[in-house]
């Protein structure tokens, strides 16, 4: 597979590593103990919360996430049961 020439060329970084570290240090000086505002208990919940937070506020995400995760669990349980039944029917 050929790669388009514009994608194959490595571009100069927007900032240097030293500049990025300096910026990070300045942010950490302003916020020495940052705490997440999204509530999550595992990587999947973090993924869902972060995707939702791109569309709305963290407060709104935290309000809807528990209900959404319960719905997702119920749907997955239902899907697993249907899949098992379908696979059993293949066995005869």
Buried-exposed string 9-28: b where 16+ CB fall within 10 A, e elsewhere: eeeeeeeeeeeeeeeeeeee
* Residue pLDDT, tens place only, 25-53: 999 999 999 888 899 999 999 999 999 99
Averaged pLDDT, 6-26: 80
Task: Residue 49: name the closest of 31, 35, 68 by CA.
Answer: 68
Query: 65, 45 in Cβ contact below 8 A?
Result: yes
Share above pLDDT 90 across residues of the chain, in percent, rounded to a whole number: 64
């Amino acid at each position: 597979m050929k790669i388009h020439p514009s994608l194959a060329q490595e571009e100069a970084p927007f900032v240097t590593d030293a500049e990025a570290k300096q910026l990070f240090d300045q942010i950490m000086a302003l916020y020495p103990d940052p705490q997440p505002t999204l509530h999550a208990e595992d990587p999947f919940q973090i993924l869902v919360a972060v995707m939702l937070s791109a569309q709305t506020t963290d407060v709104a995400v935290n309000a809807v996430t528990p209900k959404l995760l319960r719905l997702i669990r119920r749907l997955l349980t239902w899907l697993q049961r249907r899949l098992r039944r379908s696979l059993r029917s293949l066995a005869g």
